Amino acid sequence: MTERRDRLYDRPGEVGDFVFDAAVAQVFPDMISRSVPGYAAIINMIELLSAMHAQPGSRLYDLGCSLGAASLAMARGLVQPDCHIIAVDNAPAMLERAREHAVGAAQTIDFRLSDIRDVEIRDASMVVLNFTLQFVPLEDRETLLQRIRGGLRPGGILILSEKIAGESPQTDAALVEMHHAFKRQQGYSDLEISQKRTALENVLLPETLATHLQRLEHAGFARVHPWFQCFNFVSMVALA
Ligand code: GEK
């Protein structure tokens, strides 16, 4: 399995909408770690949170699993017996690589090629949406969160990580500026940053933290704790 440095946007050209295809799958670990500040820390904490919250004989879901980094982290953290990890993505190229990555994992992972809006969630103690809800059409987000809430056992948790929009145009501009400085520090050029931004414009739709908190409450979660933020990247734990 070869993994490459992300150079997908380093030549000027016509930029179409971003898709999770074979070219993206091949560079994905490099792309996400140089694009999402704190990604490694979040994956690490997913391991810790699975040790804390997974319940015996329950299901753990990784929705929009990409190459399965969060599933593998949950598998490493598991201390309870008879848990079943289900990892879902609708991009065949991502799932194919995820299966390769999972060879030799601490626990069997059940990979499913499906839209996360169609997956039945039941008997879950932990559900992870690590930078996936941002790609789901706005009008479908609340229904999905309600279904997740309905499929969680008492005491179960949802980990929701998202790129967010600032509460005001000024805050948003400051967060975007810091994020772009991070990307430059990680070796991306201004051309790569601007072409990637164009590619994601109609595909990744960020919302404010207040909108997320309100919607989670609406969906029936008892409490929500934002536990991580770096610039415009946030992770929350929502308790059933
Ligand atoms: C990680 N969680 O490494 N149904 C299924 N999959 C979807 C859908 C959908 N409706 N929409 C998007 N995806 C991972 C990172 S990446 C985040 C998640 C990013 C999938 C899509 O195919 C992609 O693999 C993933 O969600 C988003 O912890 O690239 O910024």
Q: 91 C-alpha vs ligand 1 centroid, how far in Å?
A: 8
How sure is the predictor about 2, in pLDDT bands with cuts at 50, 70 and 90? low
Q: How far is CA 78 from the centre of its chain?
A: 19
Instruction: Name all residues whose Cβ lies below 6 A of ligand 1.
Output: 20, 32, 64-66, 69-70, 88-91, 94, 115-117, 130-132, 135-136
**How confident is the model at residue 77, as a pLDDT?**
96
Give residue 169's pLDDT: 97
pLDDT at residue 11 tops 90: no
Q: Tens of pLDDT along 43-101?
A: 999 999 999 999 999 999 999 999 999 999 999 999 999 999 999 999 999 999 999 99
Ligand 1 center–CA 27 separation, angstroms: 14
pLDDT at 16 over 90: no
For ligand 1, atom 26: residue with the closest CA = 64
At 75, is the secondary structure helix, strand, or coil?
helix
Q: How many helices and strands (H and E) does the chain possess? A: 8, 8
**What pLDDT, in 10s, does the model give residues 138-171?**
999 999 999 999 999 999 999 999 999 999 999 9
Residue position matching structure tokens 């593998």: 72
DSSP string, 113-147: ES-GGG----SEEEEEEES-GGGS-GGGHHHHHHH
pLDDT of residue 183: 97
pLDDT at 1 over 80: no
Q: What is the pLDDT of residue 184?
A: 96
For the chain, percent of residues with pLDDT exceeding 90: 90
Q: Which atom of ligand 1 is nearest to the CA of 24?
A: 29
Name the helix (H) or strand (E) containing 35: helix 22-35
Nearest CA to ligand 1 atom 4: 115
Give the SS3 label for residue 223.
strand
